[in-house]
Amino acid sequence: MGMQRSIVDAVVVGAGINGLAAAARLARAGWSVALVDDHDRIGGFVASGERTLPGYVHDTWSSWHPLFVTGPAYAAFGDDLHRHGLAYANTDGPLTATVADDGRVALAHRDVDATVAGFAEAADRDAYRAMITRFGAHAAGIGGLLGAELHAGSSLRPALTLARAARRTGLEEYARDAVTSGRSWMRARFAGPETDLLWAPWLLHAGLTPDAASGGLMVPIFAATMHGAGLPVVAGGSGNFLAAWEMFLAELGVTVHTGRSVERIPVADGRATGVAGDGFEIVARRAVLASVTPTALYGSLLPPGSASADVVDAAARYRPGRAAMQIHVALSGPVPWADARLADVPLVHVSDGSSSTAIACAEAEAGLLPRRPTVVVGQQHVLDPSRVPDGAAALWLQLQELPFEPVGDAAAELDATDGWDRKLAEGYAGRVLDRVAVHAPGLRKLVRAVDVLDPTALAAHNPNALRGDPYAGSAELDQNFWWRPLPTAGAHATPVAALWQIGASTHPGPGLGGASGYLVADRLATPGRAARLRSRLRGSNDG
């Protein structure tokens, strides 16, 4: 068979959430769009299936959708997706909890007053309410900046919105928050342990540690977002989310090419002209949007000489974050939590807050398997009983403090000599289950099957998961916000005309929201911006 060649207005590379949002936005504006992905089905890190036993539906990778339902893609396409069958299960009561090694439990509800009722210190209750109120007063500006092109004039509007609401002292405080760790930020505001127990482990979901800069900014964002939006999961499993997108994209006329690996982005006269791979070429008349890492974009996809040496060098130094692991467990009965309140909580962290989480992160950074990992215990069946047989339960366990190439075990129990082979993965999964079982006596007797996806499985499934990092690159401050993806190319526009970078490696960073894909596509498709786009297509690079 010869070369298959087609011509469209735009090609979107990568069918994760950002690629889906970008393709839909452009198609709705009347562009002809090709969406290309090397997997057999769209979704990226969105998938579900009976990974353990028949009747147990597990979300393979990502699961929770608060960022999506509060983001621009859902605002634009939510009604259409629901029309095509998308349904969410959510909580109006218990939200998230942390259980510490000594058995202490910190519990958050959707209702803020119900949450602070469990705080021992009256001053902490007032401080927590003030934290949520402050974010609410400034949410429009903060959300606008998180969803704006920071290097473009479009960021001025949300910046001014935040400035008017927060005034000078408030802006200075946000600047301090952005360079403050989550641990320090909470320590300065709360006397009791509850807030640290609850929200320090959530910093892992932003690719941070309790002691990383910008944690002080992220803690109130996490808390306020979840109090407002809850922890929605897709009814019946995340595969139904993809089914809705597939029908919606077909309705919009998007041509979806799955099972095709993009190997190069041809460039002519300084302009990206499309994409190509083994046996196919898709010409793009107007734009190429690539949901890839800087490492891939400048290291292999673009021809040599397409970008300046400083950009190529910065891309080569782009750092992955810590690796992760997913463990799926089929249980014959409900989780036997020692504290019965945890039975109705969708997501539980096993952690001592900043203290144990920071230690586990440090051990992982040193190449060691953490002795006391922070365990993310997802109980999606609490929200969606259809995922398990009657009377049964399932656990979605996530570990976000792992080395991709372990050199040892902090507990001196497991042999890491051969790296992530089956024996090590199952051995570490046993440690994780034992850690949960301390707080759920009898858990082990209920285990019917276990499915383990170690860091090498994440890296093999998604090329953006550099060294098993599901967040497509470290989100430390020097590689985030203004400087993401690169300090020398920190915008979605690239040094190559008509080529745009989207995805978790770009602002606003990781998370199942679709913001970067929607942002770029909206910028391209919105009437009235033609002059700026013509400038971009001619090769102007000052995004």
DSSP letter string over 206-269? GT--TTSBTHHHHHHHHHHHHHHH---EETT-THHHHHHHHHHHHHHTPEEE-S----B--EET
Q: Which of 46, 40, 98 is closest to 67 using CA atoms?
A: 46
| Whether the predicted pLDDT of 148 surpasses 70 | no
Residue 541 has pLDDT above 50, yes or no: no
Q: How far, in Å, CA of 251 to CA of 466, rounded?
A: 34
CB neighbours of residue 287 within 10 Å: 26
Q: Does any domain span residue 446?
A: no
Residue 481 sits in a domain of what CATH number?
Answer: 3.50.50.60
Q: Please report the pLDDT score of residue 445 as a whole number.
A: 98
More confident residue, 542 or 141: 141
Q: What is the pLDDT of residues 398-415, one digit of tens each?
A: 999 999 999 999 999 999
- Residue 417's pLDDT is 95
Q: Are residues 133 and 209 in the same domain?
A: yes
In the prediction, which pLDDT does 141 show? 59
Domain-ending residue, one of 178, 212, 229: 229
* Least confident span in 123-127, 134-138, 146-150: 146-150
Residue 438 lies in a domain: no
Nearest to 242 by CA among 229, 225, 258: 258
- Residue 374 scores a pLDDT above 90: yes
Which of 2-6, 114-118, 147-151, 534-538 is the most confident on average? Answer: 114-118
Q: 21-69 pLDDT, tens per residue?
A: 999 999 999 999 999 999 999 999 999 999 999 999 999 999 999 999 9
Residue 374 phi, psi (nearest 5): -75, 120
Q: Are residues 220 and 264 in the same domain?
A: no
Same domain, 140 and 219: yes
Radius of gyration of the chain (CA): 23
- The answer on 270 and 223 residing in a single domain is no
Domain carrying residue 180: 127-229
- Name the average pLDDT for the chain: 92
Please list the alpha-helical segments (H only) found in 52-121.
Answer: 66-69, 72-83, 112-116
pLDDT for the residue numbered 307: 94
Q: Say if 55 falls within a structural domain.
A: no
271/222 same-domain check: no
Residue 170's pLDDT is 67
Question: Both 134 and 222 in a single domain?
Answer: yes
Q: What pLDDT does 490 receive?
A: 74
Residue 275 predicted with pLDDT over 60: yes
- 309 part of a folded domain: yes
User: Quick one: which of 127, 119, 204 has its CA closest to 374?
Assistant: 204
Question: Does any domain span residue 491?
Answer: yes
User: What pLDDT sits at residue 535?
Assistant: 44
138 inside domain: yes
Same-domain check for residues 225 and 277: no
List, for residues 245-269, the tens digit of each pLDDT value.
999 999 999 999 999 999 999 999 9
For residues 297 and 219, state if they share a domain: no
**d(Cα 381, Cα 446) in Å, to the nearest integer?**
16
Q: Identify whether residues 141 and 179 lie together within a single domain.
A: yes
On whether both 136 and 219 belong to a single domain, the answer is: yes
Q: Give the model's pLDDT for residue 243.
A: 98
* Total count of domains within the chain: 2
User: Which residue blocks in 235-390 are alpha helix, DSSP H?
Assistant: 239-252, 294-296, 309-316, 354-365, 380-383
pLDDT of residue 533: 47
Output the pTM of the full model: 0.92
481 located within any domain: yes
427, part of any domain: no
Q: Among 143-157, 262-276, 474-488, which is the least confidently predicted range? A: 143-157
Q: Are residues 211 and 275 in the same domain?
A: no
Verify that 138 and 223 share a domain, yes or no.
yes
Q: What number is the average pLDDT over the span 460-486?
A: 92
Phi, psi of 325 (to 5 degrees): -145, 145
